[in-house]
Structure 1
Amino acid sequence: MDILVVGANGQVARHLLSKLKELGHSPVAMIRKEEQAEELLKLGAARTVVADLEGDISAAFAGVDAVIFAAGSGGHTGADKTILIDLWGAIKTIDEAEKHGIKRFVMLSSMGTVDPDKSDRIRHYLVAKKLADDHLKRSGLDYTIVRPGSLTNDPAQGKIKLEPEIKVRDNTITREDVAIVLANVVEREQTIHKTFEILNGDTPIVEALDALN
C-alpha cells in the first residue's frame, strides 16, 4: 500500500517509515520543508511530498491508499500551535482523506483523551486530541485510533499492554513500539473502528492486535 504519513519528521513517524517499509508498504512522507526529504528517504520513505498542515494540504493525498496521522505540535509550543496542528490539522487531514476517497485512516492520539479534565498540565492538548478523535469517529472512514501513554526513546521491547482504556498506568511505551503498532494496524481489519490505549507490557504486539474483536 502507498501510505501517507502526516508529520513524517516527528520522532514516532521516523521509526514508522522503516517499519512500514519492512512490511512491504510504500510510505509517502509528508514534510513541511524540502530539506527534510533526503534523510527521510534514507529512513524508508518511498517518496516525499511537501505540505504544511497550517496551509493547503490537498496535493499530498494523490495516489495514496491509506493515511496515518502522526503529526504533533510538540511539547515546547503553545496552545495556539496545538489548536492548529493537533486539532485543526487533524480535522483537515480527515476531511481531505474523505474527499479523495481514501478509506483507511490511522490516528496517533494520546492516552488521557477519554477525560481531559483529569489533567491540568496538558489539558489543552488532550482536549484537542479528543476533538480530533471524535471528528474521525463521525467520518465515513475506516479508522483506528491508537492512544499511547508516556513515550520514551528506549529501544523497542516488542511487547505491549492493549486495552480500550488502561486504568492502571504503571508503565511507559517506547516510540519505536508505537511505530510498530501503527505499521501493523493498517492492514488488520479487526482494528477498524477500534480505539485503544497502549503501554509496554507482556503481550507480543502482533498477538495483541490479532486478539482484538
Structure 2
Amino acid sequence: MTTLVIGANGQIGKQFCELAQKAGTPIKAMIRSEEQAAWFKEHGIDTVVADLEGEFEHAFDGCDQVVFTAGSGPHTGPDKTLMIDLFGAIRTVDIAKQKGLSRYIMISAMRAENPMEAPEKLRPYMAAKFAADAHLRNSGMPYVILKPGRLTDETASQQFASSLDEAGDNQISRANVAHALLHAVQKPDLVNQEYLLLDGKRSIGEIIQ
C-alpha cells in the first residue's frame, strides 16, 4: 500500500518520510519542484513533482492512500491560507475519492474545532482547517484526522497524551506528530476516527487504537 505524502517537504512531512522509509512503509513524496528532490533521493524516497496551487491529479497515480501534511506556513498571507490550507486540501480530498483511494489521513490542528479560541492571528488558518476537516468528514472518503496542539521542534519522546487535562500543556513536537502519523498509516483498518495529539506519557498505541 503506497501512501502519497502531500506536504512532504515540510517540517512534519520530511520527518514522517524518513521514518516511513526506515520502516519499509511505501510512500511517494509530493514536492513542488525538482530543486526539492535531492534530499528525498539521498534517502531513497520516490518523489512526484506537483503543486497544490496548480494541477496535481497525476501525483495520486499508483497510490492507495494519502496523507495531507501541507501548510501555507506562518510567513505567508491569507491568499496562501485559502489556496493551500483550504482549497488545496478540499481538492485533494475530492481527487482521492474520484480515484478510489482507500483512505485519507489529515494533519489538522487542535483549535480547528473552534477557530475563535485560537490566537487572533491564527484564526484564518484555523478556519481553513475547520472547513477542510468538515469537507473530509462529509465526503464519504474513509478518513483519519490527527489534531496536534502547538508545534515545537523538540526531539521525539514518542510519549503522548490525548487531552489538555492529561497533558497539562497544549504542545507537541513535530517529531512526535511524525511518529503518530506513521502509526496511523500502518493501520489500514483505522477509519473515520479523530485524535487530539499532545506530548504526554503514553505510547501512541494507547492513543490511536
TM-score interval, smaller chain:
over 0.9
User: What residue in structure 2 maps to residue 100 of structure 1?
Assistant: 99
- Percentage of identical aligned residues: 42
Single out whichever of 9-18 and 188-197 deviates more from structure 2. Answer: 188-197
CA RMSD of aligned residues (A): 1.5
Partner deviation per Cα, 1:108-152 (whole Å, 9 max, x = no partner): 001101111122221000000010000000112110000101111
Give distance in 1, aligned partners of 2:19 and 2:123.
31
Identify if the C-alpha distance between structure 1 residues 140 and 155 changes in structure 2 by more than 3 Å, giving closer, same or farther: same
Q: TM (normalized to structure 1)?
A: 0.92
Q: Is the 8 A contact 2:10 2:70 kept in 1?
A: yes
- Report the alpha carbon displacement of residue 169 of structure 1 after superposing the two structures with TM: 5.7
Identify if the C-alpha distance between structure 1 residues 146 and 54 changes in structure 2 by more than 3 Å, giving closer, same or farther: same
User: What residue in structure 2 maps to residue 130 of structure 1?
Assistant: 130
Q: Is the 8 A contact 1:50 1:60 kept in 2?
A: yes
After TM superposition, list the pairs within 5 Å mapping 1:108-147 onto structure 2. 108-119=107-118, 120-147=120-147
Give distance in 2, aligned partners of 1:184 and 1:66.
14
Give distance in 2, aligned partners of 1:9 and 1:173.
20
Letter of the aligned partner of 2:14 in structure 1?
R
Give distance in 1, aligned partners of 2:112 and 2:83.
18
- Report the alpha carbon displacement of residue 190 of structure 1 after superposing the two structures with TM: 6.1
Partner deviation per Cα, 1:32-84 (whole Å, 9 max, x = no partner): 01111121233452x11000000111000000011000100000001110010
- Report the alpha carbon displacement of residue 189 of structure 1 after superposing the two structures with TM: 5.1
Unaligned runs of 5+ in 2: none
Letter of the aligned partner of 1:149 in structure 2?
G
User: What residue in structure 1 maps to residue 151 of structure 2?
Assistant: 151
Single out whichever of 183-192 and 24-33 deviates more from structure 2. Answer: 183-192
Letter of the aligned partner of 2:96 in structure 1?
A
Letter of the aligned partner of 2:206 in structure 1?
E
Q: Is the 8 A contact 1:73 1:82 kept in 2?
A: yes
Tell whether 2:13 aligns with 1:13.
Answer: yes
User: What residue in structure 1 maps to residue 84 of structure 2?
Assistant: 85
Give distance in 1, aligned partners of 2:116 and 2:141.
28
Q: Is the 8 A contact 1:6 1:31 kept in 2?
A: yes
SS in 1 for 2:110: coil
Give distance in 2, aligned partners of 1:43 and 1:151.
25
Q: Which has the higher helix share?
A: 2
Identify if the C-alpha distance between structure 1 residues 173 and 124 changes in structure 2 by more than 3 Å, giving closer, same or farther: same
SS in 2 for 1:154: coil
Q: Is the 8 A contact 2:195 2:208 kept in 1?
A: no
Unaligned runs of 5+ in 1: none
Q: Is the 8 A contact 1:17 1:44 kept in 2?
A: no
